[in-house]
Structure 1
Amino acid sequence: MVRIISVANQKGGVGKTTTTINLGTALAATGEKVLIIDLDPQGNASTGVGIDRQARETSSYDLVVSNASVEEAAVKTKVPGLSIIPSTLDLLGVEQSIANLKDRAYRVRKSLREGAGSAQALGYTYVLLDCPPSLNLLTINALAASDAILVPLQCEFFALEGLSQLLQTVDHVRGTLNPDLKVHGIVLTMYDVRNSLAKQVVADVRAHLGDKVYETIIPRNVRISEAPSFGKPALLYDVNCAGSRAYIDLASEVIRREKQFRRIAA
């Protein structure tokens, strides 16, 4: 059974793409069959796993607009068990292309869950959707398709600002498009142990959100920042750095939470 998780936050620069590609890599390393879908027109997730722009013949735009199947669009990465549907700048025009369609909010859901070429049929166990830094129609499509949302939250003063808007959007999607959508968890990113303000942010977020916050905290780490320029996830670039170890821990925590969700559903 495929599990579909949106990695989303309308605030930019919080580590969505970094979290998507490194969590996907860590899950694949445990034997899961993982698919990343790059829904950000910037295409950073695609670049971060080494997919050249010239190689993006079928993209997430085709998935949303032209009903391309996952089988047609997915590209294997250098990581065994990890594939990606890459992004192109065509995504900038996706809202105009599907705005008048009755099923405009369900385009991604149909491609992932229906038909012989879907993620479900192809045996993927996890699909991670890297959402754009806005609450637009692409993000709504991702949330309508997902079992859960994972929210990266930067350890900075304005961390909680805007999170309430995102959670309101989740409630709206749950009430209108996808009643089964859950908040999988909130992962604190870019944590600087030397910064006393970062420690206060962690305390405040945990006080406000309780067990919705993952125990794993992703540190600010230069090796994580360097890895995308080499077209590699941090776990391939330097598996022993603090950032890579944190994402391995996060993958373990995600799997544990998945087991809890399944027990509750049963």
Structure 2
Amino acid sequence: MTEENHHSQENNAAAVPPPRFMIQSTQAAAAELETVVTEDQPEESSAVAASEQDVSVKPTSSSTSISTENIQLEVESSSTTTWHIPTVSEPQEEVSQAEQVKIPVEVELLEEINPQEIDVIPLPSNHEVDEVAPEALLEVVSEDTPIDEKIVSEEPRVALAEPTVEEIIEDVTATEPVEPPMPSAEIEVPKVEHLPAPRIIALMNQKGGVGKTTTAVNLGAALGRQGYRVLLLDLDPQAHLTLYLGIDPESLEASMYDLLADDDMSAEDIRQVVPNYHHLHVLPAEVNLAGVESELADKVVTGAAQSVLRTKVSTIADQYDFILLDCPPSLGLLTINALTLAREVIVPMQAHFLALQGLGKLLETIAMLRQGFNPNLLVAGIVLCMHEKQTILAGEVIGDLEAFLEQGKETNEPWSQATIFSPPIRRNIKLAESPSFGQSIFDYDASCNGAQDYLQLAKAVASHTLDYSKV
């Protein structure tokens, strides 16, 4: 070893910071280490080690003396110099796996890479992307690169010609309208004999959402198609019956509120002919009907407030065969006015347990009203709406209703002649859609189950007469 190399090795040893633990080595071990570095390490590695600045050493936690027999200096392919130093454990334990103390070495790898061995695809800069033609981009793709036939096609693109005005008109006229069909004027309405006295029927149930308004509109429309003259009364402040018939409550000059609150207003002043319906008229309502009870508060004591509707409607009642009253879902003054005017009560309900319990309270109210304002009031029957006959609950509720009505037949109760009308109104989405078009179910979809059920219900109601001599 020359003197210059010897000084280089001493400088390298001084550049490495000492570890945290103390190593007691003999002169023989130092000489052996110097021999290993000199014989095994090439000159290039020594030069690299001389330029090393960062040294990381992972020390052990114990032992004051270490044997340097197995110390080796290796240069791995990742340009990291590693000392493999066996870990010295406590005297009672066995020697554990050797720990690696790595000294990273900075090597300029780019100098070792041959640029000719790398396929470089020149790409345009960001401001030149839009100007590059698609054919130029395809040339830089390797032949082995799969190209989706759906994206790159050899066939040239053909520009679509804009349609002419004549073609657009032809397409529009060939398209069928989405709106439901309007009622046909060619429907033959049978001629029936007018009833000697109008049948005034109140559709009531203090439970909401059971189908009162739907039954009032479609039952009235079905009776009109059979040739009967029908008058509908909207007594619900929500004015759903008025909306169902396609009448805007806000556009009304006079409504049910004016009829009840104004002494000079008559039923003829607010009566309207319902368009696109057969033999159907209506006394419409609007939202302000909710305040009519406060207007009639002074007449409650005398009893005039409970019978004001009967007094006003009696002037036109003889012009109709059926008068149907859509009652609000409550037992307030409006409902009492309806029960005072009516001669029959039809209860729309669902075959549910809660509806069955509410029916008992409703019949009690009718019985109390018979003792005062309307002694001739009778319950004609029950209409099952949104019916699902396949359910066990529906069968049980119908069984309880039939047993209850059977017990009252031999009594003088208002429901002694009541029946469960057949058929029940099956649950049908068309019945929920038709109000948005202002049409009855017969004009909206005459072939659906709802239309067929209400048509048969109208025939059942018309044929079910009550014997008032037993009252």
TM-score range, shorter chain: over 0.9
Indicate whether 1:12 and 2:208 are aligned: yes
Q: Which residue of 220, 226, 231 maps to 1:35?
A: 231
**1:159 Cα deviation (Å)?**
2.1
Partner of 1:189: 385
Look up the SS of the partner of 1:24 in the other structure.
helix
Deviation at 1:200, TM superposition (A): 2.4
Larger Rg: 2
Alignment partner, residue 240 of structure 2 = 44
SS in 1 for 2:354: coil
Runs of 4+ in 1 over 4 A off after TM superposition: none
Bigger shift: 132-141 or 47-56?
47-56
Q: Comparing 204-213 with 138-147, which one deviates more in the overlay? A: 204-213
Q: Is the 8 Å Cα contact of residues 231 and 323 (structure 2) preserved in structure 1? A: yes
Q: Which moved more, 1:65-74 or 1:177-186?
A: 65-74
Give the Cα–Cα distance (whole angstroms) in 2 for the partners of residues 157 and 250 of structure 1: 23
Which residue does 1:139 correspond to in 2? Answer: 335
Highest RCO, 1 vs 2 (Cα 8 Å, sep ≥ 6) = 1
Identity fraction in percent: 41
**Structure with the bigger percentage of helix:** 1
Hey, what does 1:130 align to over in structure 2?
Answer: 326
CA distance in 2, matches of 1:157, 1:55: 40
Q: How does 1:214-225 map to 2 (within 5 A)?
A: 214-225=421-432
- The Cα offsets for residues 167-211 of structure 1, whole Å up to 9 and x where unpaired, read as 111111111100011101111111023433223222222222245
The question of whether the paired residues in 2 share the 8 Å contact of 1:192 and 1:219 is answered with yes
Q: SS state of the match for residue 218, structure 2?
A: helix
**Matched positions, count:** 258
**Where does residue 159 of structure 1 map in the other structure?**
355
Note the C-alpha offset of 1:214: 1.4
CA–CA distance in structure 2, aligned partners of residues 76 and 85 of structure 1: 9
SS at match of 1:184: strand
Counterpart-to-counterpart distance in 1, 2:233 and 2:344: 15
Query: Can you give the 5+ residue segments of structure 2 that lack an aligned partner in the other structure?
Result: 1-196, 407-417
Structure 1 stretches lacking a partner, 5+ long: none
1:7-86 correspondence to structure 2 within 5 Å:
7-67=203-263, 68-77=265-274, 78-86=276-284
2:364 to 161, 168, 188: 168
For 1:42, give the aligned amino acid: Q
Would the aligned equivalents of 1:190 and 1:221 in 2 still touch at CA under 8 Å? Answer: yes
In the aligned structure 1, how far is the partner of 2:356 from the partner of 2:202? 19
The CA deviation string for residues 223-253 of structure 1, in whole angstroms up to 9 with x for no partner, is 0011111111112211121111111111111
- Alignment partners' CA distance in 2, 1:69 and 1:235: 32
- Does 1:104 find its partner at 2:305? yes
Per-residue CA distance 1:12-40 (angstroms, 9 max, x = gap): 01100001001100111111111100000
Aligned position for 1:177: 373
Question: SS where residue 207 of structure 2 aligns?
Answer: coil
Asked if residue 256 in structure 1 is aligned to residue 457 in structure 2, the reply is no
SS in 1 for 2:325: strand
C-alpha displacement at 1:64, in angstroms? 1.5
Q: Per the alignment, in what secondary structure is the counterpart of residue 152 of structure 1? A: strand
The TM-score, its normalising length taken from structure 1, stands at: 0.92
Separation (CA, whole Å) in 2 of partners of 1:228 and 1:183: 28
Range moving further from structure 2, 57-66 or 80-89: 57-66
CA distance in 1, matches of 2:286, 2:216: 17
Q: Contact 1:106–1:145 (CA<8 Å) still a contact in 2?
A: yes
Q: Post-superposition shift, 1:261?
A: 3.6
- SS of the equivalent of 2:463 reads helix
- Computed over aligned residues only, the root mean square deviation of the Cα atoms, in angstroms, reads 1.5
Distance (whole Å) between structure 2 residues aligned to residue 159 and residue 239 of structure 1: 29
Maintained 8 Å contact 1:4/1:147? yes
Q: For 1:4, what is the secondary structure of its paired residue?
A: strand
> Which residue pairs with 1:202 in the alignment?
398
- TM-score w.r.t. the length of structure 2 is 0.53
